[in-house]
Structure formats: C-alpha cells, structure tokens
Amino acid sequence: MLLCSCAQQVDPTADNINKIFNSKDFTFEFHPIDGTTKSLSFRVDYLVYQSDQPTVRREVSYEEVVLINDYIQRLVNLHSDSFTTENHSYYIIKNTAYKTTIIPDQEDYYFWALLKTLKLE
C-alpha cells in the first residue's frame, strides 16, 4: 500500500494561515533568492530550526510565539502578486493539510533579524 500526502495550496490570507496554525504542527520556510532554505517548524511547544548549520530544537516561549506571529502577519500584509517565486525571495507556511506561499515586498534582512532575535543565528 502506498500512501501519499499532498497539502492543498491555499491563498495567503489570515484565515488560511490560522487554519495551518491551529494544527500546532506546522512549518514556516524561508526561500531566499539564492536557492537555499531555512525553516522553523513548530510541534506543540517546541521549535525546530533547520538550515545549513546543525539543527536546533528547543522549547519556544510565549514571547517568541507572539514575535513570530507578528512577523508572519506583517508578511501577509506585504504579500505582492506582482512577484513570483522565480524572481523574489518567498515564504511557505504548511502543515499536512494546507500550504500557502507568501511573496512579500520586503527585504531579506528582516528574516535574518528575526533569527537573531530568536537566538538561532
């Protein structure tokens, strides 16, 4: 028996992102224009950070959750349909059921600042 799981692609709206967050088991990926990927995965009260460095797994605080939620909300507000994933850095938020792509009109250094604030870089 072969089982395949494909997440449904949804628009980057607050309602759709909240559907993903409600699972308490989701991944927030950053895809800079250079082709690399950095990801923050959340499993109940834990954060897992994956990059080209060793993986970091630790508890996530309430303050960090608020910071990350605010950051993602700002990304949604800055989403631009005039960009594509081929010509601009982008984010993916996904769980097993849903997946959304956000292409914000925002410089990459904001993501690096988020990682520094979270003490992940």
Per-residue pLDDT tens digits for 9-57: 999 999 999 999 888 899 999 999 999 999 999 998 899 999 999 999 9
- How many angstroms separate the CA atoms of 74 and 77, rounded? 5
What gap in Å lies between CA 83 and CA 49, rounded to an integer? 26
Claim: this prediction has a pTM higher than 0.75: yes
Q: Above 60 in pLDDT, residue 1? A: no
Alpha helices in 9-61 (DSSP H): 14-21
Residue ranges per structural domain of the chain: 8-117
Terminal Cα distance for the chain, rounded: 42
pLDDT value of residue 3: 53
Give the type of residue at 110. Answer: Y
Determine the Cα–Cα distance for residues 93 and 40; give it in Å rounded to an integer.
10
